[in-house]
Amino acid sequence: MKINKIAVSLIAAGVMASPLAYATNGMNLEGYGPVASAMGGASMAYDNGTAAVMNNPATLGLMSEGSRADVALGILAPSITSNYTGMPSADSSATAFYMPAIGYAHKSGKMTYGVGVFSQGGMGTEYDANSFLAAGSGKEVRSEVGVGRFIVPLVYQVDDKITVGGSLDFVWAGMDLKMAMSGAQFGDMVAGLGGTQTYGTVSGSMANTLVGAFTVPQAMCGGVPCLSSMNWARVDFSDNGDFTGQAKGNGGAFKLGGTYKVNSQLTLGATYHSKTALGDLTTSGAEMSMNVVGPATGGVAASIPVTGSITVKDFQWPQTIGFGAAYQASDKLLLVADYKNIGWKNVMKDFKVTFTANAVQTNPNAVAFGLGGQVVDMTMIQNWEDQNVFEIGGAYKMDDALTLRAGINVANNPVPDKYMNPLFPAIGENHVSLGAGYVISSASSVDFSYVQMLTKTATATGTPLSVDFGGYSAQIMYSHRY
């Protein structure tokens, strides 16, 4: 099996340029490829191009004999506003993300094979240093999570009715986090400081040192605890890049799929996407800092930055089970409908981070408290729910060149209100989509989609904190067949 030089060049470019992506079915895109996304994301049972490697790989076997190369560009434009009663609202400035995607497939007889590079999904926000989310630290707050895939599919047409296929996926992930907490929020995560640990836990040798500084009288501090209060605490690791995250990891996954042609009009399809097997996301360029007051600081607020490394533990992408149907109602009208179950519950129970301080510290306060080489284990409770996604759409062929498409995508919000966080507002539910395809020649075509996410508002249980999440996405793809 040989992939021609043009396809190799395109795929190599996609690997180099594939950025972090931001999404609206939890952390997944609501649709992969403009053909499917224009029809609500439905993709299980008809030919939707090389985006099949992200949808149902078996549908690659529905393509015509020969080769095709797809080059796509997408934009995600979220609109996110965080609100806290009595304070000015905070608008996320992360409002435009660009995603290239590239795929190649070749069908010869009963076999179809290929390769593709696609953004899987993620999420991201960025808030001003003066917003309430900065907790008085005077530094910007941001999050960026992205997952991409290099995919090799293989599909076999069993007979005129049945096609089966699968793919092996190399998966990579990147993450940035610049998160601030008030002293009260941080203290509530530390059992030794009387914290309820309702939303998460902080432990480890550095936490123990802080507990001692707040609770144990010290001769060096006049026979009283060295610290009396904390104004804020921060975790910072970020490369501020559009294409990478500071903490990185990689691993693998696989997909299986099939289609069954019931008759000349109706085709059924189903797929299984495995949970990923990613290694921990790591970086040495991290910092934890806190702003404290007490006898040790002369009674004035003092910041203590501590440099070190971060390990994000067991961050995985969930399994997906999907099935659907495509009904060719007439020569002009195609109707499609899918259902997906995305297993967020299994992978988004907790967000676990371990910070290990460098043995040698440069900040005098960090040295004075002996924080060099110490460890903080932080767990933030997530408790996401599995997500049920319903995708319905249709395509109408106006003439031999122009096809119009439309659809809806409806899902439950997987994020419990109790644990809703403005840095990770993956709360989108309802989407309306439309698009078009235009055949330029027997060898080339262009497809376009636009998806509007209806604004969803979520309020953190028992707090004056809420988030409004809306926005749109669009994709355009050029396809060449030969």
Which is higher by pLDDT, 98 or 226?
226
> Confidence class of residue 2 from pLDDT cuts 50, 70 and 90?
very low
> Confidence class of residue 229 from pLDDT cuts 50, 70 and 90?
very high
Residue spans of beta strands (DSSP E) within 97-223:
97-108, 111-127, 141-157, 162-182, 200-203
Residue spans of beta strands (DSSP E) within 183-246:
200-203, 229-237
Q: What pTM, to 2 d.p., does this model score? A: 0.92
> Confidence class of residue 10 from pLDDT cuts 50, 70 and 90?
very low
The sign one gets for the Cα dihedral 77, 127, 462, 22 is: positive
Cβ proximity of 115 and 102 under 8 Å: no
Tell me the CA distances in angstroms from 413 to 27, 29, 56, 86, 282, one per residue in order.
Answer: 11, 14, 24, 27, 29
For the chain, the domains span: 5-481
Cα 120 from Cα 254, distance rounded (Å): 13
pLDDT at 477: 98
Which is higher by pLDDT, 447 or 2?
447
pLDDT at 12: 42
Cα 335 from Cα 329, distance rounded (Å): 7
> Residue 177 carries which side chain, given as an amino acid letter?
L
- Evaluate if residue 4 carries a pLDDT over 80: no
**Token couple for 289:** 């800092």
- Evaluate if residue 337 carries a pLDDT over 70: yes
> Residue 187 carries which side chain, given as an amino acid letter?
G
Cα 172 from Cα 145, distance rounded (Å): 11
Cα 96 from Cα 116, distance rounded (Å): 24
Percent of the chain with pLDDT over 70: 95
- Over residues 5-33, mean pLDDT: 61
- Over residues 468-481, mean pLDDT: 96
Q: Where is 205: in which H helix or E strand?
A: helix 205-215
- Evaluate if residue 21 carries a pLDDT over 60: no
pLDDT tens digit string along 360-396? 999 999 998 999 999 999 999 999 999 999 999 999 9
pLDDT at 23: 59
Which is higher by pLDDT, 204 or 5?
204
- Over residues 175-203, mean pLDDT: 95
Mean pLDDT over the full length of the chain: 93
5-481, CATH topology level: Porin (2.40.160)
pLDDT at 124: 87
Q: Which residues lie below 8 Å from residue 2, measured CB to CB, with a gap of 6+?
A: none
Cβ proximity of 474 and 450 under 8 Å: yes
> Confidence class of residue 102 from pLDDT cuts 50, 70 and 90?
very high
- Over residues 10-34, mean pLDDT: 66
Percent of the chain with pLDDT over 90: 89
Q: Match 């400081």 to its residue by tokens.
A: 193
**Token couple for 171:** 């998966």
- Over residues 87-115, mean pLDDT: 94
Q: Which residues lie below 8 Å from residue 209, measured CB to CB, with a gap of 6+?
A: 369, 370, 371, 374
